Structure 1
Amino acid sequence: MKPILPAALLTTALLAACSDAPTTPTGQAPRPAYVSAVQVTATDTPASVSRRLGGTILSWPTDCTDSCSALVGLNERPSAALSAQGVGRVERNRDVFSGGGAITAVMGGNRAYITGQQQDPWEGGNYRAIPENTPRWQKIGLERAQAMAPGLGEGVTVAVIDSGIDLLHPAFAGALSAPSTWKDFYAGDDLPQEEGQSGGAYGHGTNVAGIVLQVAPRAKIMPLRVLGPDGSGDVAGVAQAILYAADQGAQVINLSLGSVENSSIVQDAVRQVAERGVYVVASAGNENQDRISYPAALARSKGALGEFLLSAGSTDLNDLKSSFSNYARTLEIVGPGENVYAPYPDGRIASWSGTSMVSPMMAGALALSLGQGLTVAPKDLTKKLAESAFDVYEHGANEAYRDMLGVKGRVDLVAFLSRTTQQ
């Protein structure tokens, strides 16, 4: 297991590990085969429910005055007798979610840039852009958008629920939330450090967090780890991380992950945070299927769930659907998700392709608008982002995917900010 360190010792421990950051998995939290949201009352206790159901309490409501639910892990499906005791829908727990995307290039740590000028090292994480991304940022109008929103996302915390990040990467210096808010739900500790080695999901979360910061450089990243080195994650970890992020003050949650099946437990977690006014952006998946992954597929639901949840797919630099991107009439927006450069573990830069890379662009867009001040109702913000997009169906383009690449298509940050923020 990774050591669970007091916050005061965390920086020292990370610096001491700088020369040999974790490269192999060091631990894992208990992973029950099944998980259920169990109804509990104010008279119940974690111990009594655990004994009654023969399960492990994964989360417990902090303020339960009447009837609410606890998350319980079970090693086998409950009997009919137990089901009558308040056990809700029982779901498969292990490896239901996966992070999408494929790494396309890795460059050495001496490649770092500040506003187009080569620097060594990353100058405390204050970089604005990586030149290799210039065509992508020009496509979505990032430079002008940042001029329109000079706060650059300041005061906004974006929770990146992913494979962890490289906590030692210079790009994140001064850009992370307080260490007391970090959590690793996969390993069961408070150090959400990327683990593994080249391949799999190694570097995925680091890339995603770096994309958020390129769009909204003054936002804070809250790193929460739910995916293992192979990119898979459990229902319980994803649901807990979503609720935890909102409890810790995140205004935006990025989910560059998904599942082919809907989890009612994760759906309920997204609904709960949405009803609290927290935005959730989820990637559509990379199987080139005419259906998008969950929870992204829920983004056009009625009520707060649909209003505060946004689904994101991928196009290329010609605004044509990426060969890998899922598509559907429920997809709300797309963006340039191919060969997107961002930080990579060990102080390096790497490019990835996937709908996972588009989701943090949208999270960054929301951070820009929130940091600038809204002129629209909060519940209308994701709708405005989708409706202000560039029309990717013009002149017969993407005809085979008409109305399945978003409400209109590819994100246009300038149009979005002009319609939603104080100028």
Structure 2
Amino acid sequence: MKVRHLLNPALALCTAALIVGCNQASTTPTAQAEAARPTHIMSVPVLAGDTRETLEARYGGTVTHLDTEFALVGLDGGKVQAQNLQALAARGIVVEPNRDTFKAGALARMGGARSMWAGGARSMWAGGARSMWAGGARSMWAGGTYSLVPENTTAFKQIRLEAAHLLAPKLGTGVKVAVIDTGIELNHPAFIGSLAPASEWKDYVGNDAVPEEVGTLGVGGYGHGTAVAGIVLQVAPLATILPIRVLDSDGAGDTDHVASAISHAVAKGAQVINLSLGSTTPSTAIQTAIKAATGKGILVVASAGNDNARTITYPAAQADEGSSGDYSLGVTSVNSSHIKSTFANYASDVELSAPGENIYTAGPGGLLVAWSGTSMAAPIVAGGLALARGQTLAVPIHDVTKKMAENGTDPYNNGMNQAYKDKLGKRSLDLEQALKNIVKS
């Protein structure tokens, strides 16, 4: 375990309930070496014959990432001032802030005192085998209830997940979903048999290959990535999770880490990337990384943010732009009646909405927890894309996100959400309707 700096209680994200006891609610981090964190970063083109040394000589900084698509060059203090920023901009190179520019999102506080968290000793995860999640659609939906995590039955009926599982019986088999987040609890029973090989894992915060969650439950971003990964696997139980840690225990992360993680996911064969994180400002480095990913047919989902704002966070705000827009989705949150969640950001560039309130999922300590936020809506959509990619497609890959965004429930029907007309996406997620228009029967 490792930690970069002290937790900040003011940034606490709230879980609504824990279904099992809290005897393992925190970790005890140990010191760990970490990579240098430049104050600024720029994404630069890689020319034939370029090396770290040639790039560093050309741009006067330190290369933090290098592949065939692009390189990231970090700058500190006076080196930023020494740059001819205007000349760089004329070449399409932007010097941008790097440290703690991305957040997991200030998830809505759904209420609940700590005394509510430890209500019972029942464990949903006993045994923890992959078959627990994926014994087939019939066993998962015994009696019309999502039997694995029955607390999610309402949300999953809302997106017609039972019918989606019948339309996509491979349940995401062979589809790798990169969860770029706070890391995950690697030994959580929900993930047994469902993780990519350890040789593919990456932790950009701790500068190692062990993307383990760090922190104290209920404080900061601790548990966020575990929750996101658990949601993906409930929607697509036979998908594979590639955990990549870019956010610290306070839920904050650096631009170069997020961009590098996207590139790492591409290199390790991810077919879907989930970004339940965002920044209030656009990032050239992130968009370069996303463009490189989508150029290889990888589907990218990003959350819209949780400030009840009229603008959504980046990269979700750019998910409908350019060539990458054919492979990306920006997602906001609605409640069980398809009404905009009180915390959810909204804008004309939102492409899709999905349930994001009180979603039960895996939590640190082997727990079952409930979270709310657009961060929870995004992995529901990412899981849906994994279901699609596990089947034979009836449409070109560049039409998959479009079909998902266009085939769903009308969130403005019968006068609903009129204050947010055309700002919650064209549709609210309906996986049955989407898959009927995406996969071969």
Q: TM-score when scaled to structure 1? A: 0.88
Match of 1:98 in 2: 103
Letter in structure 1 aligned against 2:128? W
Q: CA deviation at 1:111?
A: 3.7
1:326 and 2:331 matched = no
Match of 2:408 in 1: 389
Task: Work out whether residues 39 and 87 of structure 1, in 8 Å CA contact, stay in contact via their aligned partners in 2.
Answer: no
Closer/same/farther in 2, CA of residues 43 and 250 from structure 1, 3 Å limit: closer
Letter in structure 1 aligned against 2:103? S
Q: CA deviation at 1:107?
A: 5.3
Q: CA deviation at 1:319?
A: 1.1
Q: CA deviation at 1:2?
A: 5.3
Closer/same/farther in 2, CA of residues 111 and 411 from structure 1, 3 Å limit: farther
Closer/same/farther in 2, CA of residues 283 and 372 from structure 1, 3 Å limit: same
1:212 and 2:242 matched = no
Task: Work out whether residues 41 and 256 of structure 2, in 8 Å CA contact, stay in contact via their aligned partners in 1.
Answer: yes
1:418 and 2:436 matched = yes
Letter in structure 2 aligned against 1:376? V
Match of 2:177 in 1: 158
What is the percent sequence identity of the aligned residues?
45
User: Match of 2:95, SS?
Assistant: strand
Which one of the candidate residues 310, 313, 320 is aligned to 1:290? 310
CA distance in 2, matches of 1:271, 1:340: 31
Closer/same/farther in 2, CA of residues 87 and 292 from structure 1, 3 Å limit: closer
Which one of the candidate residues 317, 331, 336 is aligned to 1:317? 336
1:171 and 2:171 matched = no
User: Match of 2:437, SS?
Assistant: helix
User: Match of 1:375, SS?
Assistant: coil
Task: Work out whether residues 183 and 213 of structure 2, in 8 Å CA contact, stay in contact via their aligned partners in 1.
Answer: yes
Match of 1:258 in 2: 278
Letter in structure 2 aligned against 1:371? G
CA distance in 2, matches of 1:406, 1:26: 44
User: Match of 1:246, SS?
Assistant: helix
Closer/same/farther in 2, CA of residues 103 and 192 from structure 1, 3 Å limit: farther
1:24 and 2:29 matched = yes
Match of 1:58 in 2: 64
User: Match of 1:286, SS?
Assistant: coil
Q: CA deviation at 1:112?
A: 3.8
Task: Work out whether residues 160 and 255 of structure 1, in 8 Å CA contact, stay in contact via their aligned partners in 2.
Answer: yes
Q: What is the count of residue pairs matched by the alignment?
A: 397
Q: TM-score when scaled to structure 2? A: 0.85
- CA distances 1:148-186 after superposition (whole Å, capped 9, x unpaired): 211000010000000000001011000001111100011
User: Match of 1:281, SS?
Assistant: strand
Unaligned runs of 5+ in 1: 4-18, 114-118
Match of 1:307 in 2: 326
Letter in structure 2 aligned against 1:208? V
CA distance in 2, matches of 1:274, 1:123: 33
Task: Work out whether residues 108 and 373 of structure 2, in 8 Å CA contact, stay in contact via their aligned partners in 1.
Answer: yes
Tell me the C-alpha RMSD between the 2 structures: 2.4
Match of 2:161 in 1: 142
Greater shift in the superposed pair: 352-361 or 119-128:
119-128
Task: Work out whether residues 356 and 377 of structure 2, in 8 Å CA contact, stay in contact via their aligned partners in 1.
Answer: yes
Q: CA deviation at 1:125?
A: 6.6
Task: Work out whether residues 126 and 217 of structure 1, in 8 Å CA contact, stay in contact via their aligned partners in 2.
Answer: no
Map 1:192-207; keep pairs closer than 5 Å.
192-198=211-217, 199-207=219-227
Match of 1:368 in 2: 387
Closer/same/farther in 2, CA of residues 229 and 80 from structure 1, 3 Å limit: closer
Q: CA deviation at 1:224?
A: 0.2
Greater shift in the superposed pair: 100-109 or 276-285:
100-109
| More strand as a share of residues | 1
Unaligned runs of 5+ in 2: 4-23, 134-139, 141-147
User: Match of 2:94, SS?
Assistant: strand
Task: Work out whether residues 38 and 75 of structure 2, in 8 Å CA contact, stay in contact via their aligned partners in 1.
Answer: yes
Which one of the candidate residues 15, 33, 40 is aligned to 2:39? 33
CA distance in 1, matches of 2:349, 2:85: 37
